[in-house]
Amino acid sequence: MPKKRGNQILQIKREDGSVETNQEAIHEIIEKYYSKKWGNKKCSLEDWPKFKTSECIQADSINFLKADYMKEELVVTLRKMDNNKSPRTDGANAWFFKNYSNIIDEATWNATDEFFFKSGRMPEHWMETVVVLILKVHNAKECSKFRPICLCQ
């Protein structure tokens, strides 16, 4: 059996117990299940505990957190990353950024600086997330028997 076929969900049970094998319908069933599960929920902040001043962040820590982020810190962080960690949908992983830094260093820094420290606006495609369903049990047929993991860009 080809590996790709082994990564497909070939059938899923509907809420009424019937089994669906059509790939488009399977996608819709799973999307509906997780949309309902992860949908907006009401949250009240009333009756939250009050914190004592001694339990809050101290002034020296606040100053450290407010300090400017330096390009050198980005480079050090990138060097510490494993080469094949967090590949993006376009295939770019840490190895790509490390090995082509002489070409993309300035653009990477400018994009990071703009988003995190100047505008606070992230380009829409940076927010793309791939959701992968991992089997909790062998031959799972119910949506609840899959564990979703989100691979963020």
Mean pLDDT of 66-72: 86
pLDDT 10s digits, 90-122: 677 888 888 888 898 898 888 888 888 888 887
Strands (DSSP E) found in the chain: 12-13, 19-20, 129-135, 146-152
**How many other C-beta atoms are found inside a 10 Å radius of the C-beta of residue 143?**
22
The one-character DSSP state at 56 is S
Question: Domain limits of the chain?
Answer: 68-121
For residue 1, pLDDT beyond 90: no
Q: What angle do CA 75, 151, 146 make, to 5 degrees?
A: 155
User: Residue 127 has what pLDDT?
Assistant: 76
Return all residues near 140 (Cβ < 8 A) that are at least 6 apart.
146
* Per-residue pLDDT, 28: 95
Question: Does the pLDDT at position 5 exceed 70?
Answer: no
